[in-house]
Structure 1
Amino acid sequence: MSNGFSFQPGASVLWRGKRCTIVEAVTASSVLLDIGDGQDKEVVPVSKLRSLKDAESAQADRSLDALAPEDLAEAKRRFAIIKPLVRCERRSEEDVQRAAERHGVPRATLYRWIKRYEGRRRMTDLAPSRRGRKMPKRLSPEVEAIIASVIDEKYLSTQKANGEEVILEVHRRCRAANLSKPCAETVRARLRAIDPKEKVLRREGKKAAHDKFGAVKGNFPGADAPLAVVQIDHTLLDIMVLDEEMRLPIGRPWLTLAIDVFSRMVVGYHLSLDNPGAFAVGLCLCHGMLDKAAELERLGIKGEWPVWGKPRMIHSDNGKDFRSYLIQDTLDEHDIRYEFRPPKTPHYGGHIERLAGTLARKVHALPGATFSTPKQRGEYKSEAKAQMTLRDLRPWLLNLIVGVYHNKVHSGIGCPPLARWNDGIMGTDRFRGIGLPEPIPNPRRLRLDFLPFIERTVQPEGIVWGKIWYRDPLLSQWVRADEGRRRRKFKVRRDPTDISKLYFLDPRLNDYVEIPYRDIGRPSISLWDYRAVEAWLKRQGKAAENEQAIFDAYEDMHRITAEAARQTKRVRREQAKNRELGKHRAELTLDPPRPPPESPAKPKATRRRDGHLALVVDNQTSEPPKPRPVSNDFDFDDAEIKRGVEEW
């Protein structure tokens, strides 16, 4: 359904401060606009258009985080029940009747949930409506722990205990612990909220789960249009990069990639020196769903990358970073399905593996390449030959993706990925185009949804996370707020690249507001800086007692590491990682950019480079290494895929 901002014919948009109407899509990245009088028309890139209701739709958007825990659990339970009904091609009355009988829900109730969900396709719309100011009841953490342990030990096991046995065991353990026993319906609600696939897997085994839920090898039902299926994975690039300041080697970077199965277009990426995790997955997905024209312009990349919008399904391996509850809940909230391939079956992710193999082969041609194996590397000295920093590698990588890969014939589809994408958007004689994808109405909120969160009470001193305090006058109205007989907790999020501020979910505004350090004179640090300081203090035989100790140790540690930077690669890598995080804060900022203070212009002393080829050609090497033969085909052959693409 429409989110209030569409590129379909007849939609109203804002162009140069004037309301205009879209006549039709001209290409996969531009539309024909009716300026207003029906006579004057103009072709405009969609990246330049703005929504008429951005602020209004963002304010009216119901927050996943604003829900009470029991309301969120109920929304998830309802969504799990209707998910097969709202995601099938055809839904019959018999399907609804069977679902109603299986879950013990009246058929009229199911139809009401389906209608409510299909209005905006947001999971939060399924949450119960709360009237009045009655506070929701909650179980104590001890009772919740007992319920979870009984479900894990008795219900989700080969013992296959039924619901009545689980309820009796929960009540027995509560009596033994002198705790109030929960009602039977509360326990049954926890059982109904269990993922059906996990239930079959834990109770009946892998084969039964695969037979019931597994995908057919090499087949992706529904991958017949752009963004229908997107695969995502991490790969460690075979190249040694340099520190930007000292030009000394600091290690190999990680690349997180997402690819559209239909067109083989790269949907999004994330390049970092840090090990991959849920945060890298979130940044890659955000990058894939948002428009990329501004990034290409900033980095001077020629070409177009007309990929944006929400994918229908994300496909990944079984890594814990992809199975993170943060990632899964956010995808559910944005109506994006996710599917995991079985362990030890890399051919299930053949498309993303092919792309990783393609990029790995191209990286081997760069100075400082480490190659895939020591045998391939031979006597080539990767660290001595390294010339590229992470800042150099990023535009080189984007030139390879946008300028070369997207425009070269792909053997898997018989045409360039960009041409296939345009065909899928605009349509051809063989299949109907889907039209331009709807843009994300609130990019800031999308990025916030992928940030780590925690619940905290508001004290007179502010909010504490770890040992760092945050405070703002806005918090005064929530100091020691009560919720029944206990202190009310509020959800806050924090960007790991910059923990100098929190994002506090204000219940009255139903939106996140920025809360800075209590001591605004503290330096901005990352979460990795914070953990490094704690580890450094521990090695010194000290404890991180409070905030002052943390920041004092931070200053001491950086003073010492600055003196040893030329001697230790690990220290150089950490410093480069900090600079990289600073760039990410500027590139992926959650807040509007602030204008820089006026200052007299100073001439730049650095020499500009004319094109990315200067980054990859080493004309000073007396004995150039023998490059590995590079195939002109951006694909693996069938034999490699059958072997499971183990080389990559």
Structure 2
Amino acid sequence: MSFPFNDEFKEIIEISGEKNKVIHNEEANSLLLSLDSYSHDIKMEVLRRISFIKWIKPRLKGGWTQKNLNPLIDDAATQLKMAAPKWRTLAEWHKNYHSSGNDISSLIPKHSSKGNIQQHTDSDFLIKKAINEKYLTLTRCSISQTFKYYCDLVIIENRSLPENQIKSVSQRTFYNRINALPKYDVALKRYGKRYADINYRTVDRMVNVTRPLERVEIDHTPLDLILLDDNLEIPLGRPYLTILIDSYSKCIVGYNLSFRHPSFESIRHAFCNACLDKSSITQQYPHLQQDWPISGKIENLVVDNGAEFWSNSLEDSLLPFATNILYNKVGKPWMKPLVEKFFDLLNKGLVHSLPGTTRSRIEQLKGYNPKKDAAITFSLFLELFHTWIIDIYHMTSDTRETAVPYFKWQEGVTALPPLTYTDEEAQQLRIELGILNTRTVRIGGIFLYGLRYESEELSEYRKIWGSIDKNNLTLKTKTDPSDISHIFVYLTNESRYIKVPCMTDISYTSGLTLFQHQTAQKLQRTKTRLQIEHEKLADSRMYVENRIAEEVEKIKSSKKRTTKTTHASKIARHQDIGGHTQKSIQVPSEQSEIKKLNTNEHDVLNGWDEQFDDLEGF
């Protein structure tokens, strides 16, 4: 068996004669392997000690005394070509080796026990006080500042001690005390628990996967790049990228690129792109040298704790397709490492080399203005992005050269292909990945987002299953956020979806997205609020309140007040009290009433014949 070190070790081992063999090659090799955690110098020293012990032991007559050892030590040093130890040192080596049961670790030099190991001094309590109050705090004072604070504590403490004053330790000793503190505890006190957990975490093995799409990770990130509008060529800002990556092959399963903040709509587009066929990509970009065959039903989707992943819409959408949602632990992105690593590779491999990049940190710009230098349009970046994913990333091996993502996918698909979506299932997937709502069907249909949705089929369903005296027909709806001109309503008793158009304003909702509609509603509300003069409204409302209070007080103090309103209401109808006529009942005076009575009596007698000459007797 070949020896793992240079020729100097070969010289140690063999001396002629069976009795003269000190350490066999295999034994020395095993010895060195057991000392791999130690430095090269320590290994050499252990080999020197064991070589002297095994050379001298078969030749020694008597005990390990000075008289018996001194004649042999020089001969051993000559033949072993090693520095000779003192007889007492050699005897100590043998004693430790024998008492440990021939354990080689007993011959390891104890350098750590050398020097002054007494750390406790009369100022030990002041050292702890200075470290706890200055160094182990979130203000993160330096060791030098902490040492000065310690020296000040010693001076102040000695003022109260006329005798036996405290002697301060040296700066080197103080530094050693701090450097001996547990590193995790230091990070915990100076940087907080999250920082300490991240930097001193236990890295467990990755989840073992055996087939494609068994486990897929998803996450969002803002790209370190400012893109331009295709036509106007003005900066649009940094887009958000949503990526799904397969844990088995490391292939990119799907993506979404948008300027809107991560939301359920981002997940919807990315998931559809991941699950459905991507053969149209090679037709859209004919220069591609490879295809993008990754698609199928995802078994487990690993997500973080963003609000968009906790929505009811996502769980309800994936339930019919048996896709489990696995939530990553809060504040532990390293447990979802593949997608985080891909973002880093994308930045280094493509994004940071493009004009308009913002880099990962602002200090890396150093005078570079990405808005002025931006030159990549949105469509051009999509072309570059697809090229980099399909022709570069998928065809490049990992750093350990264990596999190429594209061929790893082909290998897995050959052995155990994932389930794929039929045309009918693909259509259902697009419907199910809509935004979930629950609404009551009323006269006029379903009211959602301030719009009215109605159809003959929905009306007929309400006639059959709706209640006569109550509006209790509640149905589940799915909305495609990219087009709100229609919704899909799930008919529970028939186990199917129907498409229900918007009846509010067909020209308005045609091709309108939910985001655009909500923005328009917000602008309309803002415009309405700006038209309202709140000070004048307040004055008017207070005037109404004051007038009511005055009238109530006036009526309470009036002696003529009556609780009966029947006759008064008849008089009000008779005299036509209203906003455009008289405002109060006219009470006639006594003279005018007598005169009116006499006039009426005279008129009646004078016209008696005219009034009754058309009457006929029985």
What is the TM-score with the length of structure 2 in the denominator? 0.49
Structure with the higher fraction of residues in helix conformation: 2
**Larger Rg, first or second structure (1 or 2):** 2
Higher relative CO (Cα under 8 Å, sequence separation at least 6) belongs to 1
TM-score by length of 1: 0.47
